[in-house]
Structure 1
Amino acid sequence: MTALGALPVLFGRAMSRRSGDMLLGFAAGVMLSASYFSLILPGLGAAEGLYGSVAVAAGIAAIGIALGAAAVAALNHALPHEHFQTGPEGSDPHGLARIWLFVIAITIHNFPEGMAVGIGFGGGDLSNGFSLATGIGLQNAPEGLAVAVALMSQGYGRGRAFTIAALTGLIEPLGGLLGVWLIHVSVHILPIGLTFAAGAMLYIISHEIIPETHRKGNQERATAGFIVGLILMMVLDVTLG
């Protein structure tokens, strides 16, 4: 889906900044809805089933969300990477070529998404796994397009921008494998794993995607895309799950 989303850069005109921000807002809405409906709520249910206590389930979910957000924050500060508008971040970002800075930035975003899908399937609830995979896939299409367009705006050719955007999607299956493995280590990892993935995605939404969509005065379009993405993922989760 990341590669399919990036395909238009090979044939069409360059996408406007307004359209790009709207698509990124859509991706954020899908991720937020998936975080709650497909990760946090099933995580709470799994924890309550294991421990027989709503209070314990809420505590486990809180810990999982906090750990997920903290893990991505640590990666964000430790790994050198570059944002499309604000420039380099992390440790000594000037030591790497710009192309790898972009690749690392997108990797930070995509890995928790793949892990969330893996955990969704690994927990044994196939309907939840399918709804997560569908939602994440849908939001990866505009994300792939946004990445390719952003790379083109930095001077990369159409073919190279498409190839890099497509390759960034390959990290998600690796995250999925890790998620499945963690769940099979112990059934008690399921609730913490689901909420951990949610916390990681919530951090990305707040720290990365939403600020990116509001920098150029396109917040109304971005917010409209956000609401559409959230509703679409909610409908998918309810109807598929």
Structure 2
Amino acid sequence: MIIDTFTQLFGTDPIIHGLVGGVVIAVLNLFGAALVFVWRDPSERAMDGALGFAAGVMLAASFTSLIVPGIETYSGGNPIPVLVGVALGALFLDRSDVLVPHAHYLVTGRQRSDAASRDGALPIENDRLAGVVLFVLAITIHNIPEGLAVGVGFGSGDLETAIPLMLAIGIQNIPEGFAVSVAAVNAGLSRRFYAVIAGIRSGVVEIPIAILGAYAVQSMTALLPYAMGFAAGAMLFVISDEIVPETHARGYERIATLGTILGVIVMLYLDIALG
């Protein structure tokens, strides 16, 4: 039913589908960023639970919508192309974090100045503003695999996989977008308008990346299993290197874990209900 409605609204061109998917997840990112207007002072406990939920959605989506179909459907049961993609995706995020130190402060807004100074990143005199710049750049980089995953999903032509993946990543973009805004406020920006701009900035990159992902796999179908693995590996890196350490650093790891389990449940339900 949903797939039929989707094709009636947007046709059958996978590139257009990639555009739609990118817009949906970017809008949900913006929605999350705008929550800072109504939820002005979220507790660390609530944020850890919300980010744990985002991690659970990404974790399940990495396997159900990218790794498993990549192996079973698009590489003829040969796991090597997908696994190579997973390794490349993780390596891309690892090298990106070296170039743009991520600062590990999704909620607190505090910059890890030791890492930033050691790597010589962004010599901005205002440490608080530098923290915001580093954080937004890092989240922007981390939005790349999410947009790519949606684009690759639609580029594959398999709407039964692509639509649940789009919804799952869009849902997890809500707490992620909110976290960007909270970090901007905690880093010292006095006007919440700028916090929302930070959320927009981190989400907008997903639209062109989604289109590019759809176009790439349509033009070169042999890339599809590699691209699916790449997107999955990058998301798994973000979960393990960013979200888990952050949500387990302030004594609310039980809440974060329950949030992660809930995220997995939601993604699995979407995958079965819409797949």
TM-score, normalised to structure 2, is 0.81
Q: Which residue of the partner structure matches residue 32 of structure 2?
A: 5
The answer to whether the 8 Å contact 1:64/1:196 transfers is: yes
| Bigger shift: residues 85-94 or 22-31 | 85-94
Q: Which residue of the partner structure matches residue 224 of structure 2?
A: 190
User: Which of the numbers 81, 84, 95 marks the counterpart of 1:74?
Assistant: 95
| Bigger shift: residues 199-208 or 170-179 | 170-179
Matched residues, number: 235
User: Which of the numbers 74, 93, 105 marks the counterpart of 2:121?
Assistant: 93
Question: Structure 1 pair 180/156, CA: closer, same or farther in 2 (3 Å)?
Answer: same
Consecutive unaligned residues in structure 2, runs of 5 or more: 1-27, 125-129
**2:169 is aligned with 1:141:** no
User: Which of the numbers 82, 87, 95 marks the counterpart of 1:61?
Assistant: 82
Q: Deviations over 1:111-139 (max 9, x none)?
A: 11000000000001122111111000000
Question: Kindly, what percent of the aligned residue pairs are identical?
Answer: 43
Alpha-carbon shift at residue 80 of structure 1 (Å): 4.5
2:121 & 2:261 partners in 1: Cα distance?
Answer: 34
What amino acid does structure 1 have at the position aligned with 2:243? I
What amino acid does structure 1 have at the position aligned with 2:138? A
Map 1:1-241; keep pairs closer than 5 Å.
Answer: 1-49=28-76, 54=77, 57-84=78-105, 85=110, 87-88=112-113, 89=115, 91-96=119-124, 97-157=130-190, 158-241=192-275
The answer to whether the 8 Å contact 1:27/1:140 transfers is: yes
Question: Structure 1 pair 93/227, CA: closer, same or farther in 2 (3 Å)?
Answer: same
Q: Deviations over 1:134-160 (max 9, x none)?
A: 000000011111221122111123221
The answer to whether the 8 Å contact 2:65/2:161 transfers is: yes
The answer to whether the 8 Å contact 2:146/2:235 transfers is: yes
2:156 & 2:79 partners in 1: Cα distance?
Answer: 19
The answer to whether the 8 Å contact 2:75/2:225 transfers is: no
SS at match of 1:12: coil
SS at match of 1:95: coil
Structure 1's consecutive aligned runs of 4 or more residues displaced over 6 angstroms after TM superposition are: none
2:75 & 2:102 partners in 1: Cα distance?
Answer: 39
What amino acid does structure 1 have at the position aligned with 2:100? L
SS at match of 2:221: coil
Q: Deviations over 1:160-186 (max 9, x none)?
A: 112211221101112212211220231
TM-score, normalised to structure 1, is 0.91
Question: Structure 1 pair 48/115, CA: closer, same or farther in 2 (3 Å)?
Answer: closer
| Bigger shift: residues 12-21 or 109-118 | 12-21
1:12 & 1:220 partners in 2: Cα distance?
Answer: 23
Q: Deviations over 1:160-213 (max 9, x none)?
A: 112211221101112212211220231111111111110110011101111010
The answer to whether the 8 Å contact 1:110/1:169 transfers is: yes
Consecutive unaligned residues in structure 1, runs of 5 or more: none
What amino acid does structure 1 have at the position aligned with 2:89? G
What amino acid does structure 2 have at the position aligned with 1:41? V
Alpha-carbon shift at residue 94 of structure 1 (Å): 4.2
